[in-house]
Amino acid sequence: MLLGSMFISMLGMNIIAPLLPLYAVRMGASALELGLVQGAFSASGTITLLFIGRLSDRFGRRLFLVGGIVILVVSSAGLMFAGQPVHLILLRFIQGLGASTYLAISQAYLGDSVPAGKEGKWMGYFNAILFAGMGAGPLVGGVITDAFDISAAFLVLAVMNVIGLIAVLLFLKEMPRKVGVRGHSSFFAPLKSLILRGVLGFLKLLSGR
């Protein structure tokens, strides 16, 4: 059920991926605003991913699964009422929060629920579903927009996220979390890696040329 919900949500999210630049240009967006529309989603997602997994370890997965997809539903519906490029930028920023939360915690939930020793197999299935949704979404979005208009694509996006939310609420329960080593790594722990230090030093040398 988690994989099905993920496919529905990723299909919905990628329905609008190729359409948003056209929609923003139609609103009169500048080149900078167009870049912000495209970048806001990833920017907010990057910020969220730094801490959302740790919070789910403490407070449980299901809470964040539901919260992430609720954010997706609200922000997706909001796209139908956007009237200016700044509205698109804000809504895409919010969508990034929801999508990154839902995606990251879905992976953690899957890791908790599959049998020990089968994590790689099920993670492969998970990513196959993820890429299937990412690949099919733009095609579906183009067909819907050609047949109706871009607002119809936004509506389908919102409806698909609602379906995903219902599936999570009805069929996914909180799972006992698998326990590894005690405690959590520091955010700065990766900097202790000699390999990472070497890569960063090399990039610093390149940037100084």
* Distance (Å, whole) CA 143 – CA 88: 22
Give residue-wise pLDDT tens across range 130-180.
Answer: 888 888 989 999 999 999 988 899 899 888 889 888 888 888 888 787 655
pLDDT band at 181 (very low <50, low <70, confident <90, very high): very low
Q: What is the pLDDT of residue 30?
A: 93
Q: Whole-number mean pLDDT of the chain?
A: 84
Domains of the chain, CATH where assigned = 2-178 (1.20.1250.20)
CA of residue 58 relative to chain centroid, distance: 21
Q: Are 16 and 79 in contact (CB under 8 A)?
A: yes
pLDDT exceeds 60 at position 127: yes
- 25: which residues sit within 8 A by CB, 6+ positions away? 34
The single-letter DSSP state of residue 117 is T
Q: What is the pLDDT of residues 63-81, one digit of tens each?
A: 999 999 999 999 989 988 9
